[in-house]
Amino acid sequence: METDSRSPIGIFDSGVGGLTVYRALHDRLPNERFIYLGDTARVPYGTKSLATVERYAIENSQFLASRGIKMLVVACNTASALALPKIREKIGIDVVGVIGPGGRKAVDLTRGRDPAKIGVIATEATISSNAYVEAIRRASNSAEVFQSACPLFVPLAEEGWTDEPETRSIAARYLAGIKEFSPDALVLGCTHYPILRDVIQQTVGEGVMLVDSGEATADEVARILSDRGLADLDARPGRRALCDDLDHFYVTDAAERFARVAERFLGTQPSKLEAIELTGRRLTLLGQVT
């Protein structure tokens, strides 16, 4: 499909977590329009195998490509860790994952420290993939990396427990190893974790720089759009609201639950939200929430 600078940017995630990446992109690129796909029928990806994650990621990417996007952001850490090469093989536009930008940003922020000490927290799948460690290694030979899985952070974020004493206590337990390592920077390597940013910051201490992979990704997307002459330069009147009707949201199931968690994550709900069925490239409209 023909695309140009006026075309939207595609974002997919396994579910609702990628909304933090959408917010970062929206804040960084107020002129752009977005199409977001949350694969809520098959969430979570973090406990699934390489072959399955690749297949799902390609189906999501092909769907978004068929909607005429000028660029694809893979907001899901698991899919970014496992499926970027296959996605790039299948679709002919720029593809940006969240892991490379997150890792590079951590290295940039800690330049001059010798050795730089970088912590990474993420889901079990992302940690086992070693994808952040490799991304950091590609940007720095000398950085020391320590990583830790925090499986309960995702359900705590979806439950909206951002300031409960149990959340603080669980954070203290999960982050004990990280604190002992005493990193200069800590990568929030899961799209849900920015929702718990305050608790995480207070637990590891104010001296640790938190790296939001979504924000790092937004910076990288802005740079690529500008390099390629693909930035949308037609200024829109005023600052656009999150989730206004220029952005289009699709989910593969359970749209009401997505809208509810979106409210928790963004303080607002998508104006345009549709439930679709992805079977190969076929698109079936299951329902619409407005």
Active site residue ranges: 76, 190
- Looking at the Cβ atoms of 141 and 284, the one nearer to a copy of itself is 284
Single-letter amino acid code for the residue at 40: T
- What is the nearest approach in angstroms of a copy of itself to the Cβ of residue 222? 33
- What is the nearest approach in angstroms of a copy of itself to the Cβ of residue 142? 34
For strand 117-122 and strand 94-97, is the pairing parallel, antiparallel, or unpaired? unpaired
Closest CA to 129 of 42, 218, 189: 189
- Looking at the Cβ atoms of 240 and 257, the one nearer to a copy of itself is 257
What span, in angstroms and rounded, lies between the C-alpha atoms of 102 and 107?
9
Closest CA to 75 of 48, 112, 107, 101: 101
Helices 131-139 and 99-109 cross at an angle (nearest 10°) of 50
- What is the nearest approach in angstroms of a copy of itself to the Cβ of residue 257? 6
Tokens of 161: 């427990």
The residue ranges that bind a copy of itself (CB under 8 A) are 40-43, 47-49, 51-52, 151-152, 154-156, 158-159, 164-166, 169-170, 173, 253-254, 257, 275, 286
Could you give the residue ranges of the DSSP H alpha helices within the chain? 19-28, 50-66, 77-90, 99-109, 124-129, 131-139, 153-159, 165-174, 176-181, 197-204, 213-227, 255-266
- What is the nearest approach in angstroms of a copy of itself to the Cβ of residue 267? 21
- What is the nearest approach in angstroms of a copy of itself to the Cβ of residue 60? 15
- Looking at the Cβ atoms of 154 and 196, the one nearer to a copy of itself is 154
- Looking at the Cβ atoms of 61 and 167, the one nearer to a copy of itself is 167
Single-letter amino acid code for the residue at 285: L
What span, in angstroms and rounded, lies between the C-alpha atoms of 48 and 31?
36
- Looking at the Cβ atoms of 31 and 49, the one nearer to a copy of itself is 49
